[in-house]
Amino acid sequence: MNHPRLRDRLRLRLIRRADKVKQNLIILLIGLGIFLLGFVTLIIAQFLIPEGLQRELIALIGLILAICGVITAAFGYISLSILRIFRFLLTETKRPDQSHD
Tens digits of residue pLDDT in 18-34: 888 899 999 999 999 99
Entry pTM? 0.76
Task: Give domain limits for the chain.
Answer: 35-88
Say if residues 12 and 46 touch (Cβ distance below 8 Å): no
Distance CA 52, CA 87 (A): 51
pLDDT digits (tens, 9 = 90+) for 59-77: 999 999 999 999 999 999 9
Which of 92 and 42 is assigned the larger pLDDT? 42
Residue 40: per-residue pLDDT? 97
Distance CA 93, CA 10 (A): 18
Residue 12: per-residue pLDDT? 83
Which of 70 and 84 is assigned the larger pLDDT? 70
